[in-house]
A and B are shown apart, each in its own frame.
Chain A
Amino acid sequence: MEFESILDKKLLPDAEDTGMPAFFLDLNLDQIVEKIQSLVQVPVKKYYYSFPADKAGEAYRRAIYKDVKKESVQELLFAFSELAEKRRQAQERKQSVTLGMQMGARHLLEVAAYCDAYTYLYEGLVEAPVESEGLLSLRAFLKNYLFTQEFQEMQKEALRLREELLGFKVKLVYENEQLYVSEDTLPGSYESFLQKALGEHGAELKSPFSTLGNLDDLEQEIVLKFARRHGKHFEEVRSFYHKYREYENEILIRFSEEIAFYLSYLVFQKKMELQGLSFAAPAVEEGKDMCAGGLYDLALACNSLHTDKAVVSNDFYLAKGERFMVLTGPNQGGKTTFARSLGQLIYFTKMGLDVPADVANVHFFPELLTHFSVEESVETGRGKLMDELVRLKPMMSGESQGAFVVINELFTTAANYDACIMGKKVLEHFIAQGCRGIYVTHLKELTQAHESIVSMRAMMDEHKVQNFKICRREADESVCAMNQVNKYHLTYQQLKERLG
């Protein structure tokens, strides 16, 4: 199949239109993406806002990311990205050109940079151990493109003219309000004198002209005077400009932008791995139980990098026939964090990237749906319940067939009896829709709501202190009393700290 995009087999609709998905804030993915963006120069956020079109698209990406993680492939792609960035900058500089002659020179440099970048990429791909469909089809595409006579001619001319341009040596003599322009190679003898007299001084002679792209008046005069000596060169550059005004291949330019998606995540992942966090390429075997080992909340881990807090990780599995995990346990016991890490597991799997866990097998879900109460504190008043129901409605009425659902503390403001009934209805709805997911609640009754529900509990150690471990357990009555103690910061551990 002909190469179209590195993000999916077919060209995706323009990512900028879709915006941040609904689940982003609930799962704290915005914080992770912000962190990723902070590590790279080019804008990449938009690529994190949309999933590939289908299951095949996810596999397409996963194979590419597997290639990208190979040392020699990433070296190639990073180097290529730098070259492509040079071309982009050259293109940008053309915007501010005032002198026609300068437009020609800038365009020449841009085309030459373009030729450099893609020739380099192709040669690298021939050598590199690539196996993914995406990179292999790109290589085939490049082979066809680069060996056309048209491209070859353009490249030859561009490189020749660039060499001439780079070779020009201008000599300026400033005296008596006159500037005498000639050509000469100058050794910089005053600089040598300074160096000898003063030693290493680190001073740098800055250009007296503006740093903007266009030429200052005096600079323009200098170039015009100088060009008189090299009429032929400047004439050739002019005709090159007219001949190759539209030189670029759109698919290749798009590739140079989109590859940043993989590279940005790679940079981020390597940095996190250096800090001791682990990542795994998820398996996607539908025949086996869905499970993960050492699963953690990546957003939380990012934020506590420079603190001494240990990253808490958990294991889970969902056997065949098990649809929902209903998670109960003490406040501040890691319930929300666990729910988030599950959502992140699904998200990164669907993105075709590595997941924050030691090991994982994740099934395919067409959708990821989340509902987190905005404030975790208990408020009174009808407003909040109403608000929750309003937000729940589109989740339950839309296309939720087979989705993965993450629900955190629904109906906390309703009476227990009402909340139980409503919670049960919600669970039954999603189970009927063939969904799987997790439901975090303080209502132990919900663990009995359906036979396909797995009861999970946030655990405490022998001192009745939360240890953030999430296990398959029956819901526990004593949790409620513990909550009260906890709320007033009167547990053993808390008192130790307060009195310490």
Chain B
Amino acid sequence: MRVHFLYEDKEWGNIPRYADAKNIIQDLGLKTLFSIAAKEVIYKDGRVDSIDKEDVFLARTMEAVMMVPLSSEAEILYRHEMLQSALDNKEFIYEMYTTVEEMLKTWEALGRRLSGRSTKDSTAKLVSDIHVLSLFVNTLSKIKRMLKENLPGLNARGFADLYDSLCGEFSEEKEEALQKILQDISFYIRDTENEEKTEVKPRIVLGCNLAQGLKCGGFVVEEVHTKSRAFGVRSSMAELVQGYIQSQKPEVIQLRKDMNLLRQGLHLEYEVVRYVVSACAPFVQTYNDFFDQLHFQLGFYKAAIILQQHIKRFYLPQCYPVVVGRDTLRFENLKEFVMAVEQRVTPVGNTCDIARKKLLVITGANQGGKSTFLRSIGIAQIMMQCGLPVIAESYESGIFPSFFTHFTRREDSAMNSGRLDEELKRMSQIVDNLGAHSMVLLNESFATTTEKEGSMIAYDIIKALTEADVKVLTVTHLLSFAQRIYEEAGEMENIGVEFFSAEREESGRRTFKMIQHPPELTSFGMDLYSSIIG
């Protein structure tokens, strides 16, 4: 049984994550994003009242889904369609999610994960198996009913497809048969459900042979049935007489006369019920993963709904990104979402339009907004590649399932041969893992050695990468590297290089906006000089 809310043609699981997921999360600060998507906004009178505490499952779900890139435009559009339907039917998504969540909790309480239960406790195991069966049947009925009721408003194909396949695999007839089976064996769970004032008794008819030297064998079941009668209702005289006559027949064994017989009779009940329940095992098996899948996949859309509440709360722009060729990158008013959440500021939006370029070199002084710019692209790319909206007025880019970040972290930036060694090692791991359609974000890489050495290393690596058709976005203040690239840009026609730098107003004031501009081949020492010496 399949859910297919995340992919049109497959379930969640065993789809490769970004090879470098751990570093991507750290370099782009995505933990903040996972966490905020798991904290529900509580409204009161249409206004934000408070923020709920983090739902760990939702945060993990968001992380898991975001770290697995979609690989085609069709996959991205399928998620957009599902997400839009979810946003339009928020109550339905919440209700279905809650139903499944509660079902899983109950299942857990019934001993889902206790596989190696001792055989001595087999009766208790059987009783809980019956409860699990009943839980499955009832939950499926409910899900089917909810889907049916909401279907007119659910435009995305995924919901209709699930309803159709439920109708096929969990048909009316199957549901009825399972309800009958549950009714037939209900006598077995009488002890745990005695709130009703009825007396329940089984009637079982079996056939067998004596072929194994008078051992009874070759059992077949003819009838299993639970009879119930209200307590305290007295039998009529005729019934009593009938019962007495029956009990006096020579072919009748009175089990009550001996504890052993009574016990073996109970064991006969056990085996018959166990048989019926295990006949239902393939049914249970079919849906074994289904509820987990449904829980997880609905979890993603619930988290996406929450994420949108936060985007609105921070008055950030958002749009569904558009998939274009891989040498194009075009966006308007793109903002860095993690910074917005963390620092509660509205970040500067950037706009750019570059076509037929594989290498972006971003230069400029510290604190000029370079890293923020690079991260905003990275975050947008990851959000786009998992089907989420992007924090921009428009965003157009290619799909890069092989996506890497190589950020020199602040604490690393001391000049130290050990650090460089680490950096090169990580670079080498990235090279090991590069696949088709790669994008690499480099932030101040190779700054842990001298400017000259670092420039040479960066030049060689970046040239090799771009020649191997890898899209590279690099923030650098290795000036000789930037200069060399700039001088050779004409020759690197086939690669295509674009330069960005921090915008400076005439007055020297920084706007934190990045603009398409040739590299500033100075370290802005003059600014400093003039500001101090005057």
Q: Which residues of A contact B (CB under 8 A)?
A: 90, 93, 99, 101-102, 105-106, 109, 165-166, 168-182, 184-191, 193-194, 196-209, 213, 215-219, 221-223, 225-226, 228
- Closest A residue to B256 by beta carbon equals A177
* 9 A–B contacts from the bound complex (CB under 8 Å): A165-B211, A170-B216, A181-B251, A197-B174, A198-B282, A200-B282, A208-B267, A218-B260, A218-B268
A201 touches B210 (CB 8 A): no
Q: Is B113 an interface residue (CB 8 A)?
A: no
Q: Is B181 an interface residue (CB 8 A)?
A: yes
A203 touches B207 (CB 8 A): no
B264 touches A217 (CB 8 A): yes
Q: Is B78 an interface residue (CB 8 A)?
A: no
A216 touches B264 (CB 8 A): yes
CB-CB under 8 A from A181, the residues of chain B are: 251-253
Q: Is B509 an interface residue (CB 8 A)?
A: no
What is the CB-to-nearest-CB distance from A111 to chain B, in angstroms, rounded to a whole number?
A: 12
CA distance A105 to B173 in the complex (A): 46
- Closest A residue to B203 by beta carbon equals A175
- Closest B residue to A212 by beta carbon equals B215
B251 touches A175 (CB 8 A): no
CB-CB under 8 A from B264, the residues of chain A are: 208-209, 216-219
A190 touches B213 (CB 8 A): no
Contact among B220, B250, B265, B283 with A188 in the assembled complex (CB-CB below 8 Å)? B220
A169 touches B213 (CB 8 A): no
CA distance A228 to B252 in the complex (A): 12
CB-CB under 8 A from B282, the residues of chain A are: 198-202
CB-based A-B contact count at 8 angstroms = 185
A218 touches B250 (CB 8 A): no
CB-CB under 8 A from A222, the residues of chain B are: 216, 253
Contact among B216, B246, B272 with A219 in the assembled complex (CB-CB below 8 Å)? B216
Contact among A199, A218, A223 with B214 in the assembled complex (CB-CB below 8 Å)? A223
Proximity string of chain B (272-289) to chain A, C-beta cutoff 8 Å, 1 when within and 0 when not:
101110111111000000
CA distance A226 to B215 in the complex (A): 12
CB-CB under 8 A from B202, the residues of chain A are: 174-175
For the complex of A and B, list the 4 residue pairs with the smallest distance between their C-beta atoms, beginning with the closest: A186-B207, A188-B220, A197-B177, A218-B264
CB-CB under 8 A from B279, the residues of chain A are: 194, 198, 201, 203
Q: Which residues of B contact A (CB under 8 A)?
A: 173-174, 177-178, 181, 201-211, 213-217, 219-224, 243, 246-247, 249-256, 258, 260-262, 264-265, 267-272, 274-276, 278-283
CA distance A144 to B483 in the complex (A): 110
CB-CB under 8 A from A169, the residues of chain B are: 207, 209
CB-CB under 8 A from A165, the residues of chain B are: 210-211
B205 touches A173 (CB 8 A): yes
Contact among B206, B267, B275 with A172 in the assembled complex (CB-CB below 8 Å)? B206
CB-CB under 8 A from A219, the residues of chain B are: 215-216, 264
- Closest B residue to A107 by beta carbon equals B213
A178 touches B203 (CB 8 A): no
Contact among B222, B250, B274 with A228 in the assembled complex (CB-CB below 8 Å)? B250
B268 touches A174 (CB 8 A): yes
- Closest B residue to A181 by beta carbon equals B251
CA distance A213 to B279 in the complex (A): 28
B265 touches A209 (CB 8 A): no
* New contact pairs (15) apart from A179-B265, A180-B251, A209-B264, CB-CB < 8 Å: A105-B213, A174-B268, A175-B202, A176-B243, A188-B220, A203-B279, A205-B272, A207-B215, A207-B216, A207-B217, A207-B271, A208-B267, A213-B213, A218-B260, A226-B210
- Closest A residue to B260 by beta carbon equals A217
B251 touches A182 (CB 8 A): yes
Contact among A171, A200, A202, A223 with B210 in the assembled complex (CB-CB below 8 Å)? A223
B208 touches A175 (CB 8 A): no
A205 touches B271 (CB 8 A): yes
A174 touches B204 (CB 8 A): yes
What is the CB-to-nearest-CB distance from B169 to chain A, in angstroms, rounded to a whole number?
A: 11
CB-CB under 8 A from B262, the residues of chain A are: 177
CB-CB under 8 A from A218, the residues of chain B are: 253, 255, 260-261, 264-265, 268
CA distance A331 to B330 in the complex (A): 75
CA distance A90 to B251 in the complex (A): 30
A179 touches B252 (CB 8 A): yes
- Closest B residue to A214 by beta carbon equals B215
CA distance A189 to B256 in the complex (A): 29
Contact among A166, A200, A217 with B258 in the assembled complex (CB-CB below 8 Å)? A217
Contact among A174, A204, A215, A228 with B203 in the assembled complex (CB-CB below 8 Å)? A174
CB-CB under 8 A for A179 and B210, given A186-B222, A201-B280, A205-B221: no
- Closest B residue to A234 by beta carbon equals B214
A172 touches B208 (CB 8 A): yes
- Closest A residue to B213 by beta carbon equals A106
Contact among B174, B210, B249, B270 with A208 in the assembled complex (CB-CB below 8 Å)? B270
CA distance A19 to B485 in the complex (A): 88
A179 touches B207 (CB 8 A): no
CA distance A182 to B207 in the complex (A): 10
CB-CB under 8 A from A172, the residues of chain B are: 204-208
CB-CB under 8 A from B203, the residues of chain A are: 173-175
What is the CB-to-nearest-CB distance from B141 to chain A, in angstroms, rounded to a whole number?
A: 16
CB-CB under 8 A from B252, the residues of chain A are: 178-181
- Closest B residue to A178 by beta carbon equals B252
A170 touches B208 (CB 8 A): yes
CA distance A177 to B253 in the complex (A): 9
CB-CB under 8 A for A174 and B265, given A198-B280, A198-B283: yes
CA distance A198 to B287 in the complex (A): 14
CA distance A190 to B203 in the complex (A): 13
CB-CB under 8 A from A202, the residues of chain B are: 282
CB-CB under 8 A for A209 and B215, given A202-B282, A216-B264: yes
B269 touches A178 (CB 8 A): no
CA distance A434 to B21 in the complex (A): 80
A203 touches B260 (CB 8 A): no
CB-CB under 8 A for A170 and B207, given A207-B271, A225-B253: yes
CB-CB under 8 A from B205, the residues of chain A are: 171-174, 186
CB-CB under 8 A from B204, the residues of chain A are: 172-175
- Closest B residue to A219 by beta carbon equals B216
What is the CB-to-nearest-CB distance from B239 to chain A, in angstroms, rounded to a whole number?
A: 11
CB-CB under 8 A for A178 and B213, given A171-B205, A173-B203, A216-B264: no
What is the CB-to-nearest-CB distance from B88 to chain A, in angstroms, rounded to a whole number?
A: 38
What is the CB-to-nearest-CB distance from B124 to chain A, in angstroms, rounded to a whole number?
A: 18
What is the CB-to-nearest-CB distance from A213 to chain B, in angstroms, rounded to a whole number?
A: 8
- Closest B residue to A94 by beta carbon equals B213
CA distance A174 to B246 in the complex (A): 13
CA distance A215 to B264 in the complex (A): 12
CB-CB under 8 A from B269, the residues of chain A are: 174
CA distance A182 to B252 in the complex (A): 9
CA distance A336 to B207 in the complex (A): 66
CA distance A2 to B291 in the complex (A): 74
B253 touches A186 (CB 8 A): no
